[in-house]
Amino acid sequence: MSRLHQLAEIHNSGKSYIIYKTENGFDLYTDFSKKIILNKKNISNFLKKKIVKNKNKNTDLFIGFFGYELLNNLIGIKVPKQKSNNFPKGIFYKPERKISYGNYLDFMINDDKYKKKRFKININRKNYTKIFDKFKKKIKRGITYQIKICTKYKTVSKIDPLDFFCRLSKINLAPEAFLIKDKNFSIISCSPENLITKIGSKITTKPIAGTVRKTKSMNKIKALNYFRQNLKETKEHNMIVDMERNDLSRICKYGSVRLQKEKIVEEYKDLFHYVSLIKGVLKDDIKNIDIIKAMMPGGSVIGCPKISTLNLLNKQEKENRNIYTGSFGYIKLNGDMRFNIIIRSILNFKNISEISVASGVVVDSNAKHEFNENYLKAKALIDLFR
């Protein structure tokens, strides 16, 4: 049996499974022996699990996600009561089986199953502009320097998550893409942003701050020139890089935090991103829980400074973010870990599909531009429903 036939068999069996993009292709995890549903009471114990140095099997790990609210709770930030669909705040799975694929996944269902869907947005342009102007005043008063306004697109839909994920991977393959298919929900993501890669004592983070639309006249070289000459994009990127360097410095040895790649351009289906890569060497006494608390939620999707900006966002937002701007990845039993930032994702739960996006507001921002940028970020996902 070919591996792609095997993939279809696992999918059609009704088993829960996870697919995660790696440098070498896609890894599928299944046959879960444990499923840990996290909450604010048990998350600390989960993260304090003892490191076992001789655990090197490819299934010696827990893989799953932390939701946004749970990460706020972990660092002592309260999220006011918000509109919620009661989706779990975090789930991790212990797999007993792993199958590796190349960079090509194929699973297609009848194209007639999906009809064009109308998405409702939770904040229209008028209300977005009001929130934008409110945050602009906070920036001018120095309460925050950059803040991300989240908008949600929703539609009623039953989807086949593997079909969606395979089609998404063909048109918009991202380095942190993943799929979770569980009994009563699915998450499909083309996240481009790595928040934590830890191997031994070495750790890296890859902040993304800066977006421009792809057009016939906008290629990668022109995108780089655009970012370099755009004061707003440059300020936004510099602030996020400085914040994530500071986050790393709290857990890394003095003088070890360095920029490995600075202000490069990455290309995706509908847009270009402005990206940097930061590395460091962890202090000797740092535990996994210390790393999670220092780095999450990821600063590039929150704003700067992180704590005061989180408090502003949580007071303003009336609807739970669920998975959005949380983190998906794994923690190996030997202590190594890899986590992304959950953006560019579809959460399908109770036959509702939701896509959350956000763009950054700095002192030079324009409300119309940022509102349109949000749609641009959601477009590759919305197009899957057509």
User: In order along the chain (386 residues), what is the average pLDDT of each group of 10 residues?
Assistant: 78 94 92 96 92 83 97 94 94 96 72 73 92 92 88 94 91 90 96 94 92 87 90 84 94 96 85 92 95 92 88 92 96 96 95 91 86 88 88
Paired tokens of 289: 């829980």
Name residues whose C-beta falls within 8 Å of residue 261's C-beta, 6 or more positions apart in sequence: 275, 276, 277
pLDDT at 75: 95
Q: What are the helix (H) ranges across the chain?
A: 3-12, 43-47, 68-74, 125-140, 161-172, 220-229, 231-249, 288-295, 306-316, 367-382
Q: Which residues pair with 149 in a beta bridge?
A: 359
The SS3 call for residue 62 is: strand
pLDDT at 300: 80
The SS3 call for residue 159 is: coil
Name residues whose C-beta falls within 8 Å of residue 95's C-beta, 6 or more positions apart in sequence: 18, 29, 30, 31, 32, 33, 59, 61, 63
- DSSP tag of 252: B
For residue 88, whether the previous peptide bond is cis, meaning omega lies within 30 degrees of 0, is no
Spatial separation of the C-alpha atoms in residues 370 and 129, rounded to whole Å: 10
CATH number of 3-385: 3.60.120.10
Q: In the chain, where are the structural domains located?
A: 3-385
pLDDT at 189: 95
